Amino acid sequence: MKLPVVVYPDRRLKEVSLEITDFDSALHELLDNMYDTMIESNGIGLAAIQIGVAKRALLLCIPDEEGEQHYDDLLEIINPVISNEDGSIVYQEGCLSVPSFYEDVERHERLTLSYQDRHGNQQELEAESLLSVAIQHEIDHLDGKLFIEKLSYTRRKKFEKEYKKLQKSKK
């Protein structure tokens, strides 16, 4: 089921999400609802807090060269821990919780990630490029941070002004 996406400046986006301990049917329903919400909103990544659930779960589904997303490529990432970050990459980021705004952000180019899958099994993956960027973006959500917090002071001021104007025009 597609659920409403929490949008900035909703205060829930500042919450630090809690570790997941129960790998039960309630978690599976949460992950399935996150998937429907992400795909039907044209997203490639979503953290649970973006549908108002402060738990350390995130999804990623990176499109192929034709821009198509495949269920087989879905990553369900629970309780992630990053190690061995290196390099630097600038990527234009977007976020379903900050609609219609895209900006260059600098992050680590490569990383190693440990996490649990929906059954609680421990997994590890190595990521680079867009996957690495998207993992860092989504883990920031679990820690109550948004990519707009990485902008320069001037760029952030400009964003706040433009975003308020856009929100008003939507009402």
Residues with active-site annotation: 138
> How far from each other are the two terminal CA atoms of the chain, in whole angstroms?
26
Residue 42 binds to ligand Y12 (criterion: CB under 6 A): yes
How far CA 18 is from CA of 53, 75, 141, in Å, comes to 9, 19, 12
Q: Phi and psi for 74 in degrees, rounded to 5? A: -65, 130
Using CB under 6 A as the criterion, what x/- string covers residues 69-108 for binding ligand Y12?
----------------------x-xxxx--xx--------
Using CB under 5 A as the criterion, what x/- string covers residues 79-108 for binding Co ion?
----------------x-------------
Task: State the minimum distance, in angstroms, from the CB of residue 132 to Co ion.
Answer: 15
Residue 52 or residue 120: which is nearer to Co ion going by CB?
52
Task: State the minimum distance, in angstroms, from the CB of residue 25 to ligand Y12.
Answer: 26
How many of the other CB atoms lie within 10 Å of CB of 154?
A: 8
CB < 8 Å & 24+ apart, contacts of 85-88: 85/110, 85/111, 86/110, 86/111
Residues lying near Co ion in the complex (CB under 5 A) are found at 95
Residues lying near ligand Y12 in the complex (CB under 6 A) are found at 42-45, 91, 93-96, 99-100, 133-134, 137
